[in-house]
Structures are given as structure tokens and as C-alpha cells.
Amino acid sequence: MHRFENAKVLLTGGGSGIGRAAALRLAAEGATVFSVDVDHSGLPETERIRLHQADVSDETEISAAVRAAAAELDGLDVVVNVAGIHRTTPIAELTVADLRRLYDVNLIGTALCCREALPHLPDGRGVIVNVSSSSATHGNPYMTAYSASKAAVLGFSLSLAAEVIGRGVRVVVVSPGTVATPLVGEDVLVGLDISYYRRIRSPMGVAEPDQIAATIAFAASADAGYLTGAEIRVDGGSHI
Ligand code: NAP
């Protein structure tokens, strides 16, 4: 498929996991992808994939990154917000610093990128795809702060879709279940019974990043032209 021939894509979190897979998928379908991440060691620069180091939660850095993307690509067609962090904490140990960091990266990073990129998106065909999580709508022990930050991404995106629908700009949320990436490594999911988590929360098994990237590509493509203000859960049946 070549659904993104000549498309200009700004993507965050391209250095690893789902973002890396989405950058490669979109580039393979013809897009030029400007990836923003704190660490790009997992993604090589190519003619179709440009790398820019920035922290999405830093207002100055993400504003400069969006300006650089629009200048280098001569505009933007698609924005994909994938960058995110995870942390598990029992409620008794939850700190304000934990809550703030999860909100800073997951919600505020997404919101700032959308705010800065929207003026560059074309009326009638601009698209934003924001990555939330099945944890936004499904409780998991020790994930209060992470789930809240991802529910915030969902709520933010639905209201943004309502705000920009008059311009013909679409906003779609992709919510993965459990995906095999460093984000859900045993060093991150501290205290969780991972076998329970994988068995109950992933009845089809843990997803590969490519499977989520395929859904992101669909949501960003003209194939999804009637899709906005919608959440696509790609969770292998975790809500059954
Ligand atoms: P990942 O492999 O850790 O990739 C996330 C990328 O975002 C990393 O390259 C990371 O850099 C980068 N990043 C983190 N904080 C950043 C910041 N402040 N500014 C710029 N880049 C930053 O994780 P993933 O599993 O692919 O997760 C991608 C998204 O999917 C996240 O939003 C996550 O919440 C969501 N998600 C994942 C799963 C899952 O099971 N994996 C399930 C549901 C939702 P570092 O590696 O240097 O931190």
C-alpha cells in the first residue's frame, strides 16, 4: 500500500516501540516522517525519516520541534503523538512528582504538540492520531496515575475533534492493550503480577508494535476519512 505518497508526517516517540514501528510503516507507505524523541538510538535517519531530539513535555522544545518539522517538510499533513512514559505505583506510595511527570509527558506533551501543529495542518484533510491506552477505560492495579494520564489524552482528543471538525481536520485516538516494548518491561511494571496481566489483559497474547502501527496508519489514512472523535482500541480482547 502507498497511502501516504508525498505526505508530511510529524510523529513523536519514534525512537522505540510503537512510535518506531509507526514511523517505519508510514515511511514505507510513502510518507516523509519527522520524528521527535528524547532518544533516537533505535531509529536510523533516512531520506524518508528525519530525526529531531526534543522533550515533548518542554513547551519551548516541542514548539521549536514543530516549527522545525513544518519548515523542513514544507508543511504538515499528519501528526501522530506516540511519545509516552509508564510507571506503576501502589496508591499509598503515589507522589505528586509521579503524577506530575506522567501528566507532563503523556497529556501535556500531546496537548502542546497538537496546539503547535494545528496551524500547519491543511483544512479538509489534516489528521491527528493520539495514542492513549486501554488503561484509559479499564482499571489495573498500581496504574492509577498512568490510567488517569491516558484517560486525559482520550478526553482531550475527543474535545479537540469537536473543536476542529469545522476545519475538516480529523482527530482519532488509538488505544493499545499490552504491546511488546520496553515500556512494559519488568523494570517498569514494578509490583505487578505480570503473568496475570498478560493472561487476563491479553487474551490474544501480547501485541507486536507493528500491529499497533498498522492501526495508526489506517487512522491517519484516507481510508479512515469518515473517522473522527473516535477511539480505536487495539487490545486483543482485553475488554471482553
Ligand atoms: P517505548 O518503547 O518506551 O517508546 C516510547 C518512546 O517515547 C521512547 O523512545 C521514549 O524515549 C520516548 N519518550 C518518552 N518520554 C519522552 C519525552 N518526554 N519526549 C520525547 N520522547 C519521549 O514505549 P511504547 O510501548 O512504544 O509506547 C508508546 C506509546 O504507546 C506510549 O504513549 C504508551 O503509553 C502507549 N501504550 C503502550 C502500551 C504498551 O503495552 N507498550 C500499551 C498502551 C499504550 P525513552 O526510551 O528515552 O524514554
Question: Residue 200: is its pLDDT beyond 90?
Answer: no
Give pLDDT tens digits for 79-123: 999 999 999 999 999 999 999 999 999 999 999 999 999 999 999
Residues 185-211: what's their mean pLDDT? 79
Instruction: Name residues whose C-beta falls within 8 Å of residue 120's C-beta, 6 or more positions apart in sequence.
Output: 66, 70, 75, 76
State the Cα angle at 187 between 185 and 190, rounded to 5°.
Answer: 105
Ligand 1: centre distance to CA 84 (Å): 4
Phi, psi of 93 (to 5 degrees): -105, 5
Is pLDDT at 195 greater than 80 in this prediction? no
Cell (9 digits) for 68: 522545525
Atom of ligand 1 nearest to the CA of 178: 40
pLDDT at 191 over 90: no
Catalytic residue set? 146
Which of 105, 183, 211 for a ligand 1 pocket mutation test, highest count of atoms within 8 Å of Cβ?
183
- Cell numbers at 125, concatenated: 484533510
**Backbone φ and ψ of 203, nearest 5°:** -60, -25
- Cα 19 to averaged position of ligand 1 atoms, centre (Å): 7
As a whole number, mean pLDDT of residues 137-143 equals 91
For the chain, the DSSP string reads: --TTTT-EEEEE-TTSHHHHHHHHHHHHTT-EEEEEES--TTS---SSEEEEE--TT-HHHHHHHHHHHHHHHTS-SEEEE---------GGG--HHHHHHHIIIIIIHHHHHHHHHGGGSPTTT-EEEEE--GGGSS--TT-HHHHHHHHHHHHHHHHHHHHHGGGT-EEEEEEE--BSSGGGSTTTSTTS-HHHHHHHH-TT-PBPHHHHHHHHHHHHSGGGTT--SEEEEESTTTT-
Residue 11 pLDDT greater than 90, yes or no: yes
Report whether pLDDT(199) > 90.
Answer: no
What's residue 94's pLDDT?
96
Mean pLDDT along residues 162-183: 96
How confident is the model over 16-63, as pLDDT tens digits? 999 999 999 999 999 999 999 999 999 999 999 999 999 999 999 999
Ligand 1 contacts (CB < 6 A) are: 12-13, 15-19, 37-39, 55-57, 82-86, 105, 109, 131, 133, 176, 178-179, 181-184
Question: How confident is the model at residue 107, as a pLDDT?
Answer: 98
Q: What pLDDT, on the 0 to 100 scale, is given for residue 203?
A: 85
Q: What's the pLDDT band for 210 if we cut at 50, 70, 90?
A: very high
User: CATH class for domain 8-234?
Assistant: alpha beta
Ligand 1 centre to CA of 20 (Å) is 10
Q: Please state, for a pLDDT cut of 70, what percent of the chain lies above it.
A: 98
Question: Where does the pLDDT of residue 202 fall: very low under 50, low under 70, confident under 90, or very high at 90 and above?
Answer: confident
* pLDDT score for 136: 97
What does pLDDT average to over the chain?
95
> How far apart are alpha carbons 31 and 205 in whole angstroms?
30
CB-based contacts of 114, cutoff 8 Å, min separation 6: 79, 81, 128, 130, 156, 160, 171
How confident is the model over 200-211, as a mean pLDDT? Answer: 89
Residue 141 has pLDDT above 80, yes or no: yes
For the chain, the residue count is 240
C-alpha to C-alpha distance for 61 and 68, rounded to whole angstroms: 10
With beta carbons less than 8 A apart as the criterion, state whether 7 and 31 touch: yes
Cα of 13 to ligand 1 centre, how many Å? 6
Domain residue limits, the chain? 8-234
At 201, is the pLDDT very low, low, confident or very high (cuts 50, 70, 90)?
confident
Asked if pLDDT for residue 190 goes beyond 90, the answer is no
Give per-residue burial for 193-220: e unless 16+ CB within 10 Å, then b: eeeebeeebbeeebbebebbbebbbbbb
| CA dihedral (205, 36, 170, 160) positive or negative | positive
Residue 197 has pLDDT above 80, yes or no: no
Q: Please say whether the beta carbons of 143 and 155 come within 8 A.
A: no
Whether pTM exceeds 0.95:
yes
